């Protein structure tokens, strides 16, 4: 009985950890998607890479990377 309870606690703990990791991954994905959408929208209306970086408060290289990967597809 003791070992079973210990096993159940361990499994519950691992499940909670996995849920936390999944939630964090989703949050990161949403943030990346929002940044990408912002970069593409500002680029579409003619903002320079530097201005996009300034407006969205993200590094210039990230703006360049987003634009390269979005238009290479």
Euclidean distance between CA atoms 73 and 66, whole angstroms: 11
* pTM exceeding 0.75: no
Distances in Å between the Cα of 3 and the Cα atoms of 8, 9, 13, 49, 57 are 9, 10, 15, 60, 52
Please, which pLDDT band fits residue 72 given cuts at 50, 70 and 90?
low
Please say whether the beta carbons of 61 and 35 come within 8 A. no
pLDDT at residue 2, as a whole number: 78
pLDDT at residue 1, as a whole number: 72
pLDDT greater than 60 at residue 73: no
């Amino acid at each position: 009985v003791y070992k079973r309870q210990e096993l159940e606690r361990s499994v519950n703990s691992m499940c909670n950890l996995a849920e936390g990791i999944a939630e964090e991954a989703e949050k990161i994905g949403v943030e990346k998607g929002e940044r990408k959408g912002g970069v593409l929208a500002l680029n579409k209306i003619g903002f320079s890479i530097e201005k996009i970086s300034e407006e969205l408060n993200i590094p210039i290289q990230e703006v360049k990377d987003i634009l390269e990967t979005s238009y290479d597809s």
